Structures are given as C-alpha cells and as structure tokens.
Chains A and B, each alone.
Chain A
Amino acid sequence: MNEFAPVILLSINVAITAVILDAPFAIFFGWLLARKNFPGKSFVNTLLTAPLVIPPVVTGYFLLVVLGRRGVIGAWLESTFGLTLAFTWKAAAIASAVIALPLFVRAVQVAIAGVDMKLEDAGRVLRQNEWQVFRRITLPLAWHGFVAGALLAFARALGEFGATIIFAGNIPGATQTIPLAIFSLINQPGGERRLWPLLIASTALAFAAVLVSEWMIRKR
C-alpha cells in the first residue's frame, strides 16, 4: 500500500459523508427554489449560494465560532451530548458539506425546473398529495440531476482546503485530507518529490466525478 492510502481513503470518506449530509438540504431547497414562490426567496437563494463565493477560510472561521468547543452550538453539544466537532473528522465533513452545498442545490434546482409541470398536475388530478407527487413523479424524472449534483458536491468536497484547515485542522489520520496532505508536503524540504501520488489521486477523482456528472446531465 502506498504511504498515502490512508489519506486518500479518509478524503473519500469525508467527501461521501459531506454528500450524505447535503442530500436532504439539496433536495428540499432545490425543489423549493424550482417550484415555489415565497417572500424572501432571493434571500434564501443568496444564502445558499454564499458558500460558493465567501472565502472558504471565512466560512471555516464562522463554523469554528458557532460549532467550536466554546461556540454557541458547539459548547451546548459538548455539555449535553459530550460531542466535540471541531478538529475531528466530523468537522472536516461538515466544512466540506457547507462548501459543496451550493453546487448540489443548483443541480437539483435545474433538474426539477426541467420536469414538465403538467405531469405533476396530472398527479394532483389523480388525488396524489404534494409528497406523493414529488416522490412518484418529480423525483424519478429529475433523478439524473440529483446524481449529477451529488457527484459535483463530492468533487468539490474532495478539494476542500480553506474551511477545513480552520475548522478541522490538519491532523494526520483524522482530518488530513488530500489537499491538506499536499499542503504539508509542499512545506517540507524535499517534500515535492513525494507529491505525485496525491496529485494523481486528486486530479483523477475530481475528473472522474465531473465526467460522470456531465454524462448524467446529458442523459436527461
């Protein structure tokens, strides 16, 4: 096994966890933005897009302030459940999830917007409730978009660096994902010579995820 196998496995675990954390939010908000009009819609839209444009270190700092051991929610989690998030692999997954969410929401939103509303109306005529319409008509027809969004989010989560190093740190075996391991190696004299397996792994994983995601979008 290559010396970096644990780093690569950890990265995949963190990215998959991030996608799982994101999925319910992405599906709900993607549907909401595609199908509903409500006051404050642009605000919700902006909030969901924000992690894409806010510098990731800033997002990481917000997460640390809120979910850190002395943070508003973090202190409560620790005293109530004995749960520490900051500087654990869970923090790496949360940071990646927040950063990747906008891509996921956007893909779901576009996919749902592409479903013919007449088909949904047909379901309503057949006395299906909103949930049944979503589950039996919208979801199956927008399925490819969901998978495409999940893959894009996975690829983005794999590359997360800025929010992760602030909120989760760079702890070998716990939070040192591929980008953080690359960062550490670049900072070591002679470390560049050992970089190539990580460069290949990160490029190949990201490329594969985006490629499959493209296929999924075209399949529609």
Chain B
Amino acid sequence: MKEIAAQFDSLHPGNTSRLNFAASSILARQIEEHAPADVFISASPEWTAYLARRGFVDSTAVVVIAQNLLVVISDPRNQSRPSQLDDLLLPEYWPIAVGDPSHVPLGKYAQASLMKAGLWEKIAPHLLPAMDADAAVAIVERGEAPTGIAYHNEAVDNPHVLLAFEFPDSLQPDIQYTAAVVTNSGNKEKAEVFLNFLISSEGQAILRDHHFLPAAYE
C-alpha cells in the first residue's frame, strides 16, 4: 500500500496520501466514529458490507482490487513437512497457526475451506488462533507451531517459512480485497481517482510485485 500511495502521489502533484493501517474491524469502527478517511481498503468483505449497510461507504462503488490464495506453511527447521491437507491430521504438525476463526478473515476463510473438505471438526481442536494473518506467520517463524495456514503472498515473500502447499483449487475461497469511497469523505473525487488507480495496470503491477493475485483473476 505504501508503494501504491507513493506512486499515486508522484502522479498527482500536490496530493499527499495518508495511510492508517489496522485490522478491518478497527478501521470500520473508526469510520463509524467519523474518522476523517477518504478510502476504506479491506481484506474483509464482511466489514466492507457492514459499512455499506450503514451507509458509511458507497455501496454501489465497491471494487475488488486484488485476490489471494490460502496456503499451508511450515517451519523450515523441521525435517518433515505436510504435502496435502490430510497431513494436517498428523500430531507432528500440531498446533497449526491460523488467524482466529472467530474474527480474523484468514481464519474464517480457512474454516470455510476446511469445512468444505470435511476436515474442520478434526483439525479445529489443534489450531492455534492468532490475532491476525501476520501473527499466524510469526508464530511459525518463531517455531511455536510447526505449521500454519497463511495467505499466498505472505508465504512467498517470507524467507523464514516454507510454502508447503496451496489449498486445492476446489477448496480455495474467494479471498478478495475491496476498496470503497467513504461517504463522509471531504475529497470524494480524488478518492475515486485513487480507486481507479488501484485497478489500473500500474496499481495492479505493484500488487503483483507483492504476490497478490490480480483483481481480474478467475
């Protein structure tokens, strides 16, 4: 995001994008409290929908800016590594770090996929729920959990964890990052230009560099 904002500012002299990073839930509450935001970008379609329902973002102009895949990561210091979802039933791979399924989008996606695979009941007791997607990767990095479920881009970018395997296509959830203009924004026109920049070939190229899947990926 920092790169995209810098690129955008260099193309629009006089503009200074200010970024505020936090969990979607926290950002959504800030916007509800009328924090001065122009654009809301979220990995959580649920919170985007939450704001749209309450009229805090323009529900007709929510755009998908990138997508992602679920993967299983493992601690490179361990001899063995899982190669398929069924392997996660083996105690040597427990606990399995993942975003907390009660509120972290990564955890919710993982839960939905594992339910689809019929493995949720068996795997759920062995999960180590983390505060967010980054925290799940950090737990594997530190060796507190031998395996974890993560987003593709975070696994590829990180030399301290191994990308063991991707969830099979049939189980991949639609992991979509959405952006929307905040209704109370004082710079609505500029916010829309920014949204268009995100889905332009330049914006998409930056996201691709960071191993996100393009918005148009099927």
Please give the residue numbers on chain A whose beta carbons come within 8 Å of chain B beta carbons, in ascending order: 64, 68-70, 86-87, 165, 169-172, 184, 186-189, 191
Collect the chain B residues with CB atoms within 8 Å of residue A86's CB. 144
| Contact of A70 with B103 in the complex, beta carbons under 8 Å | no
Of all A-B residue pairs in the complex, the 4 with the closest CB atoms, nearest first, are A70-B143, A187-B103, A187-B25, A188-B103
What's the Cα separation between A64 and B130 when bound, in Å? Answer: 14
What's the Cα separation between A125 and B147 when bound, in Å? Answer: 65
Interface residue from A70, A87, A186, A189 paired with B95 (Cβ < 8 Å):
A87
Tell me, yes or no, whether B128 is within 8 Å of chain A by CB: yes
Collect the chain A residues with CB atoms within 8 Å of residue B46's CB. 189
Interface 0/1 of B40-76, CB less than 8 Å to A: 0000001100100000000000000000000000000
| Contact of A187 with B23 in the complex, beta carbons under 8 Å | yes
Collect the chain A residues with CB atoms within 8 Å of residue B128's CB. 87, 169, 171
| Contact of B131 with A170 in the complex, beta carbons under 8 Å | yes
Given contacts A170-B100, A189-B50, contact A70 B130 (CB under 8 A): no
Chain B interface mostly = loop
Collect the chain A residues with CB atoms within 8 Å of residue B102's CB. 172, 184, 188
What's the Cα separation between A158 and B85 when bound, in Å? Answer: 38
What's the Cα separation between A184 and B103 when bound, in Å? Answer: 7
Collect the chain B residues with CB atoms within 8 Å of residue A170's CB. 100, 129-131
What's the Cα separation between A172 and B101 when bound, in Å? Answer: 11
| Contact of B25 with A186 in the complex, beta carbons under 8 Å | yes
CB-defined A-B contacts under 8 Å, sample of 28: A64-B142, A64-B144, A68-B142, A68-B143, A68-B144, A70-B143, A70-B144, A86-B144, A87-B95, A87-B128, A87-B139, A87-B145, A169-B128, A169-B129, A169-B130, A171-B129, A172-B102, A172-B129, A184-B100, A184-B102, A186-B25, A187-B23, A187-B25, A187-B26, A187-B104, A188-B102, A188-B103, A189-B46
Give 17 new A-B contacts, CB below 8 A, not counting A169-B130, A170-B130, A184-B102.
A68-B142, A68-B143, A69-B143, A70-B143, A70-B144, A86-B144, A165-B131, A169-B128, A170-B100, A171-B129, A172-B102, A172-B129, A184-B100, A187-B23, A187-B104, A188-B102, A188-B103
Query: In the complex, how many angstroms separate the beta carbon of A92 from the nearest chain B beta carbon?
Result: 14
Please give the residue numbers on chain B whose beta carbons come within 8 Å of chain A beta carbons, in ascending order: 23, 25-26, 46-47, 50, 95, 100, 102-104, 128-131, 139, 142-145
Residue of A nearest to B25 (CB): A187
Residue of B nearest to A75 (CB): B143
Collect the chain B residues with CB atoms within 8 Å of residue A165's CB. 131
Residue of A nearest to B130 (CB): A169
Query: In the complex, how many angstroms separate the beta carbon of A179 from the nearest chain B beta carbon?
Result: 13
Collect the chain A residues with CB atoms within 8 Å of residue B103's CB. 184, 187-188, 191
Q: Which of A87, A171, A187, A188 has the most CB of B within 10 A?
A: A187
Query: In the complex, how many angstroms separate the beta carbon of A20 from the nearest chain B beta carbon?
Result: 26
Residue of A nearest to B28 (CB): A189
Collect the chain B residues with CB atoms within 8 Å of residue A187's CB. 23, 25-26, 103-104
Residue of A nearest to B95 (CB): A87
What's the Cα separation between A188 and B131 when bound, in Å? Answer: 13
Collect the chain A residues with CB atoms within 8 Å of residue B95's CB. 87
What's the Cα separation between A169 and B127 when bound, in Å? Answer: 11
| Contact of A87 with B23 in the complex, beta carbons under 8 Å | no
Query: In the complex, how many angstroms separate the beta carbon of B51 from the nearest chain A beta carbon?
Result: 10
Query: In the complex, how many angstroms separate the beta carbon of A3 from the nearest chain B beta carbon?
Result: 12
Collect the chain A residues with CB atoms within 8 Å of residue B50's CB. 189
Collect the chain A residues with CB atoms within 8 Å of residue B139's CB. 87, 169
What's the Cα separation between A86 and B104 when bound, in Å? Answer: 21
Residue of A nearest to B24 (CB): A187
